[in-house]
Amino acid sequence: MLFSSMIFLWIFLPLVMLLYRIVPKPWKNGVLLFASLIFYSWGEPKYVLLLIFSVTCNYFFGRILEEHRHWLLLAACVLVNLGMLGYFKYFNLSVRVLNMLCGREVLGFREIVLPLGISFYTFQILSYVIDVYRGEIKAQKHYGRLMLYVSFFPQLIAGPIVKYKDIADQIGGREHSEEKIFYGIRRFIYGLGKKVLISNTVAYYADLIINQELTQISSGLAWLGAILYTLQIYFDFSGYSDMAIGLGKIFGFNFQENFRYPYLSCSIQEFWRRWHISLSTWFKEYVYIPLGGNRRGALRTYVNLVLVFFLTGLWHGADFNFVIWGLYYGFFLVLERLFLGALLKKNRFKILNHIYTMLVVTVGWVMFRMNFTQAIAYIKHMFCFEPGMNNLGNALTFKLLLFAGLGCVLCGPLQKLAPRWEKKLYDPTYCSLWEMLLLLGILFLCVVMLVSDMYNPFIYFRF
């Protein structure tokens, strides 16, 4: 079930909110748990059993690890979780690598459907058992509360990745207020607008350009396609995160921000501090620091960085282009630690730092979207400045200019130029007639576009 679907907006969410509102406090978690399992099983009912199996295994692992903090028990727990993720997500990639190394078909491929959100909920449950092993939290004795933590529908499918220690108290008891509900609705509608109005619109034009034969498009048009996809993925994923944070607020939960205007960054290090923050912090806390972080010398730091971003790329998808995409960022992060970061800090013309960052990011998104061979050909076409039958001027329609312009302005520049407006945007106590009219207008336009079937699934659903 999509947040940006009519059945969610007009049936599922209103019914859950109504039922949650009227039941006694002890039953509220039960309502959310039941709703979450319905939400997850809507498209693929059989995979809700896999989710329940995962939670059940880790419930017992958590209880055991609290009593017996032995690394072998933790290793077994990690292997079980990564084994399930590995089979569903990486089996065919492993077969491809094995057959390539052997020079013949040793194993055959299987038709495996990737369960929705498995990468996200696997990382959430791993953070829980690792923190229990470390003694940072106590194991949850209430099975239903642990199930709610993993399956809570606002962040189940595409994050943000929520660590148990951050919301353990909220699961046990949380405050509800009219302010929280109104702020949650605001964030949800803004996120819906990001997804439906901006991301889906620029996605339509990005697909038109990128899916053409390279011989048919000019280099300028290839750049436009890459830039539109850069806008699409930001508004798609940050829009989902806004909706998830808003839904959490409606039901009393406080989730961390997952994006802080990453396209304002002036270095790749800064970009990854602002982009998909919950994933970056997860890898930092559970991989980078345990490996030694930056405490064991420069060479070890570089190796740790490259390994973390190799795993970051692999987490995103079971194909070589995602691995290369991760290593690509690892290369620039090492480069910035070696010398480039110091040069960027000394540079007085910060706009040049920003241009460098966005150039790296935009080229990176081309690698992220396509397989490796297609990406190399597309990037080469971007930088060769070749003419084509379809040039840039032919593509610039009024609608494209309007929504791409809105995307460029709203992905950070406007918020930076108008900090007082941005502060009001995130202020749960702020309310004005003009904003209410704006929210109603956004909701109306979203509904019109959804009725016209002008939407597509969230990009991060496939991860």
> Is 316 known to be catalytic?
yes
CA distance 293 to 279: 16
Tokens of 172: 């046990």
CA distance 89 to 274: 27
Q: Choose among 446, 463, 457, 394: nearest CA to 208.
A: 394
> Which are the contacts of 224, defined by CB distance < 8 A and separation ≥ 6?
209, 392, 395
The dihedral of CA 447, 450, 456, 458: what is its sign?
Answer: positive
Q: How many CA atoms within 13 Å lie on the side-chain side of 418?
A: 9
CA of residue 164 relative to chain centroid, distance: 18
Cα–Cα distance between 130 and 142 in angstroms, integer?
18
> Which residue type, as a one-letter code, is found at position 132?
V
Segments of 265-355 assigned E as strands: none
Structure-token pair, residue 97: 């690598």
Per annotation, catalytic residue among 176, 316, 354, 381: 316
Q: What radius of gyration, in Å, describes the C-alpha atoms of the chain? A: 23
* Token representation of residue 362: 């935009």
- 412-421 in b/e form (b: 16+ CB < 10 A) is beebeeeeee
DSSP per-residue string spanning 275-298: SSHHHHHHHIIIIITTTTTTSS-H
Residue 439 to residue 187: CA distance in whole angstroms: 10
Closest CA to 258 of 276, 280, 232: 276
Could you please report the per-residue DSSP string of 34-89? Answer: HHHHHHHHTT-TTHHHHHHHHHHHHHHHHHHHHH---HHHHHHHHHHHHHHHHHHH
Q: Distance (Å, rounded) from C-alpha 56 to C-alpha 80?
A: 12
Q: What are phi and psi of 390, to 5 degrees?
A: -110, 115
Annotated catalytic residues are: 316
